[in-house]
Structure 1
Amino acid sequence: MFKLENNEELTDIKLNEFLSQHATECTNRYSELEKAYRTDYPIFHQKKKPDWKPDNRIAVNFAKYIVDTMNGFFIGNPIKVTADEENIGKYIEMLDQYNDQDDNNSELAKTCKIYGKGYEMYYVDDQANIGITYLTPMEAFMIYDDSILCRSRYFVRLYKDADGVLHGSISDDTRVRYFTQRGKLTWDPDDKIHGFDGVPAVEYVENEEHMGIFEPVLNMINAYNKAISEKSNDVDYFADAYLKVLGAILDEDSIKQIRDNRIINFPGALKDILPEVDFLQKPDGDATQEHLIDRLEKLIFQISMVANISDQNFGQTTGIALKYKLQAMSNLEKTEERKFTSGMNRRYKLIFSNPVSGMKKDDWLKLHYYFTPNFPANVLEESEIAQNLDGIVSQETQLSTLSIVDSAQNEIKKIDQEKEKQQSSVVDQQLMERLNNGQQNVLEPEGSSTASEEHHR
């Protein structure tokens, strides 16, 4: 974490120190985590073996599996955001659709799982709308004060152009400035007022330690890749084992005939010596290798707290037993949920502080977030729970328990519209029945008389 004293200004010297520290952290840590997710493991960069030795390089990408599985469980069902007031809810719906926020949330959560943290940056675009984008720790960092509250002081975004020159922007609580680093920092004379009440960015974290979800098991993944690669080498070795011939002298033609015809005959064998022919083999360590591979695989899933849902026995479990198997993932999801909620509170607090939003500064307090872990859905069970909640909780809370309902507020509107249509249909049907029964006077004006009444008079 980068910190700067409250009364200390961010000088060029200090900024260069932060940039250097960030580059070191990217090289020593973040790049390794990114490579692991992209299936670029140390096994592929080991020294090449001699040509006569098998040299297989196999990597099982547990890192990507763990990240994608947990991310789908955590945010596979989009986060539902509701508001206490209708105008706030409509603005949130527009804002999220304008920025493809469901996709942004998913990518931001994935970034946190890979690196341990991620960033969201806010700006006003050329259409006078608030834009939201996500960034990885490879391309941005936050500078905090040194108080116990760790308040944001500066946000730094970085990128390199086609020539490898470093460019960046730095945002404080009022302005955005731009710089270029060519040995020394060069500042752009034009800066901008961003309009947000605070640094226009938020840091999201996976956990308090800022650790990636597969980071604790990365050394075991590397060990697994090495073990399974050596296992593959042994298979090649036994397939190409040397033929050992004792008690006979073979010339080149005889060796060629044995190799081509797969027939062995020794008419000129040495007297009183029985020829011995078999394959030269090294000791078999198959059982030891298999035990190591199985043990590593179990530990990887156990320590990462992510279930191996591809296991053949996993799909045979249903009901409450399935939830017990997913208990570790559920506990992990709850921690991520609290961290993500904290980030979303800061997100909407900043956005509502900008006059472009048209919201009041404190309207973010009227928002509520609903996370739905992506358990295998049991719609029948959910519908029974929703029915049992009838009359106990609000209709919105009742509908939010159903995984098939994306927005409880929109669903309530649809229900009201259907009720209005049904009531209108009932009125029309009653009117038609009265007409069919001969009560035509419902359509005649007051004071009118029928022809029979005129004849009677």
Structure 2
Amino acid sequence: MTQLGTISQFLKDRDGPSRFISGVTSMTNSDSRWLSEHVYLDDNDIPRCAPDFNIENNLDEISVMLSSYDTMLRNQYHRKMRYYKGDHETIRDRIQYTAIDPEKNRIVVNVARNLVNTFSGFFIGIPPKITYAPNSDKKINQTRVDLVNEIISRSLSDSDSDDVFYELAKKADIYGRSYLVAYIANDDDKTLKFTHKAPENAFIVYSNNEESRPMFGFTFDSVDNRQFGMLHTPNNIYKFNSDDLESSGGFEASLKWKNNIFRNVVGMEFITELPENDERLGMFDDLVSLIDAQDKVLSEKIDDNDNFSNAILLTKGVAEFTAEQKQEIKHWRVMQVNNTDPNVDPEVDYLDKPNADGLQENSMKHLSDKIYDGSQVVNLADPSISSAASGFALTQRMQPMEMVAATKAEKMRKTIKRLLNIILRYNGFVNDDVADILRDIKVEFTPNVPHSEVDESTIVKNLNGIVSKRTLISYLSRVQNIDDELKAEEEEAEKRMTMFSEPDSEEGALNDDQDEPPKGGDA
């Protein structure tokens, strides 16, 4: 094999810098697209099957499907999380070229975590507002409105939704997708709760037609080739455990045990997906080569610092070192050159070393800029951010990140509404009612950015009398709930009217006295 062939094979075996990009597995080998006989992966690593496929009639495919997913995708997702945590395998496996080289530095610039945490804090650092507010022309009973809002509020509170939604959004940034899973709490066997899952431990199979309907899904753990978890279908939830195989007569038989089957009480999937985008690309999937290069440049820079601290003494025209001393040149940090001309005086001096600090600093800056530009995330460590004095200037700098956040908000809004669909059905609402309620539910996302209160107050002052009060209040970032603020203002107005309309009250008497003209003055 040629040298070029060897390198190509090496990159292929390691999956190169594209190992994180979705669809690589299914595009490299047509035989690897299939998770089972009826389920395959499309070009974005989305499991699909025919719209008439019934998994409950093909339970024998589950074991194969889970095993294939474990090999083809789960390991890939696990590497993404390791990368987010700072375990960058390229710099970790940095090669020492010779035995006498000093130990190579392996410095990690964990920009992957910084990108994800910065964007997550910006996108959902302020929890989304979820309210049911039907139009007044629908003439819906206020009691019903209050009931729906109470059910939603209680369900969100039971599951600490602010934390769940944050982790759900963060996992989507890391993996390119994440999952929201509803379940019945074990403490009372009736409270509906929900949590977040990574694609390492969950996936959904969709139909391969235009509707792209969720057909069934899995939540599971896989340890040492053993799988255990749940299969979610529109009708039932099946509990599986590969440890039951020998005692039950096979995987399919273990799924059919009565104590392993639970009725799906809401008549739909308990699991729903949040895609980062349609391509299921994570935030740093296509930036891995840049991040690896940044690790390499910084590690080499630290290598150079070590070399300067390990200065080598050069001797000329002095007695020759012994063989043992020559072997320990790295330890003694002395290099000896024999004198070939007896007329040259002996010389002892330190070697001058090349300085590549400027080149390395430029490389670091260019790589950092390309990483943040590619992710469309603002580098908050950039000094120009802190110099943006006005709110408008800061907004301009954050506009690329706001565009990405707006796109993701649409994806997450759909996911949250699917969760609300489950919550409402579980609490007794029927199909038509649920559909009607969901149309009037608002899920609002507020970017977590610094605000200039002076700029906001100026806008409100200039627009007063031109737009509605609701619109005016929406410009004030300190106001968390516009409806509550409007209601509070109405209550204060009513209180003032009552206070000054009662002539017997102390305030009313005081007001009457102030209305009388002073003695000796004009009426």
TM bin, normalised by shorter chain, reads 0.7 to 0.9
CA 1:378–1:197: 2 relative to 1, 3 Å: farther
Corresponding residue to 1:169 among 230, 239, 248: 230
Verify: 1:300 aligned to 2:361, yes or no: no
Verify: 1:180 aligned to 2:209, yes or no: no
Verify: 1:78 aligned to 2:127, yes or no: yes
Asked if the contact 1:129–1:356 (Cα under 8 Å) also holds between the matched residues in 2, the reply is no
Name the amino acid aligned to 2:477: S
Q: How does 1:247-286 map onto structure 2 within 5 Å?
A: 247-249=317-319, 272-281=343-352, 283-286=354-357
- Unaligned 5+ residue runs, structure 2? 1-45, 134-144, 326-340, 512-523
In structure 2, what is the equivalent of residue 122 of structure 1?
A: 182
* Aligned mates of 1:349, 1:235 — CA distance in 2: 60
Verify: 1:336 aligned to 2:408, yes or no: yes
Name the amino acid aligned to 1:44: R
* Aligned mates of 1:158, 1:276 — CA distance in 2: 72
CA 1:393–1:131: 2 relative to 1, 3 Å: farther
CA deviation map 1:199-238 (0-9, x unaligned): 1221001111101011111111011101110110111012
CA 1:29–1:393: 2 relative to 1, 3 Å: farther
Larger radius of gyration: 1
1:386, CA displacement in angstroms?
A: 4.3
* Aligned mates of 2:354, 2:408 — CA distance in 1: 49
* Aligned mates of 2:489, 2:458 — CA distance in 1: 19
- Unaligned 5+ residue runs, structure 1? 256-269, 438-457
* Aligned mates of 2:468, 2:267 — CA distance in 1: 35
Verify: 1:153 aligned to 2:215, yes or no: yes
Name the amino acid aligned to 1:46: R
CA deviation map 1:124-163 (0-9, x unaligned): 33263321111110110001112111101111000257x8
* Aligned mates of 2:277, 2:509 — CA distance in 1: 71
Give SS of 1:94's match: helix
Verify: 1:131 aligned to 2:212, yes or no: no
Give SS of 1:176's match: strand
Verify: 1:45 aligned to 2:124, yes or no: no
CA 1:318–1:358: 2 relative to 1, 3 Å: farther
* Aligned mates of 1:295, 1:278 — CA distance in 2: 37
Give SS of 2:313's match: strand
Asked if the contact 1:119–1:204 (Cα under 8 Å) also holds between the matched residues in 2, the reply is yes
Asked if the contact 2:376–2:401 (Cα under 8 Å) also holds between the matched residues in 1, the reply is yes
Verify: 1:60 aligned to 2:109, yes or no: yes
Corresponding residue to 2:272 among 202, 207, 216: 202
Verify: 1:404 aligned to 2:478, yes or no: yes
* Aligned mates of 2:503, 2:197 — CA distance in 1: 59
Give SS of 1:313's match: helix
In terms of mean alpha carbon deviation, does 284-293 or 132-141 score higher? 284-293
Verify: 1:311 aligned to 2:358, yes or no: no
In terms of mean alpha carbon deviation, does 337-346 or 219-228 score higher? 337-346
In structure 1, what is the equivalent of residue 335 of structure 2?
A: none
In structure 2, what is the equivalent of residue 112 of structure 1?
A: 172
CA 1:235–1:393: 2 relative to 1, 3 Å: same
In structure 1, what is the equivalent of residue 262 of structure 2?
A: 192
Verify: 1:6 aligned to 2:51, yes or no: yes
* Aligned mates of 2:450, 2:510 — CA distance in 1: 53
Name the amino acid aligned to 1:328: P
Give SS of 1:153's match: strand
CA 1:384–1:204: 2 relative to 1, 3 Å: same
1:165, CA displacement in angstroms?
A: 3.6
Asked if the contact 1:197–1:354 (Cα under 8 Å) also holds between the matched residues in 2, the reply is no
CA 1:193–1:217: 2 relative to 1, 3 Å: same
Give SS of 2:180's match: strand
* Aligned mates of 1:97, 1:136 — CA distance in 2: 22
1:433, CA displacement in angstroms?
A: 6.5
CA 1:369–1:346: 2 relative to 1, 3 Å: same
Give SS of 2:117's match: helix
CA deviation map 1:97-124 (0-9, x unaligned): 2221111111111011000011001123
1:41, CA displacement in angstroms?
A: 0.7
CA 1:81–1:238: 2 relative to 1, 3 Å: same
Corresponding residue to 1:352 among 424, 447, 450: 424
Asked if the contact 1:238–1:281 (Cα under 8 Å) also holds between the matched residues in 2, the reply is no
CA deviation map 1:232-286 (0-9, x unaligned): 011101210210010223789xx9xxxxxxxxxxxxxx96322222223554433
Name the amino acid aligned to 2:377: V
Give SS of 1:77's match: coil
1:194, CA displacement in angstroms?
A: 2.6
Corresponding residue to 1:88 among 148, 152, 157: 148
Name the amino acid aligned to 2:111: F
In structure 1, what is the equivalent of residue 16 of structure 2?
A: none
Corresponding residue to 2:308 among 214, 219, 238: 238
Aligned residue pair count: 421
Verify: 1:143 aligned to 2:205, yes or no: yes
Give SS of 2:383's match: coil
In structure 2, what is the equivalent of residue 102 of structure 1?
A: 162
1:422, CA displacement in angstroms?
A: 4.0
CA 1:242–1:119: 2 relative to 1, 3 Å: same
CA 1:221–1:425: 2 relative to 1, 3 Å: same
What's the TM-score, normalizing by structure 1?
A: 0.83
CA 1:423–1:58: 2 relative to 1, 3 Å: same
Corresponding residue to 1:324 among 381, 396, 403: 396
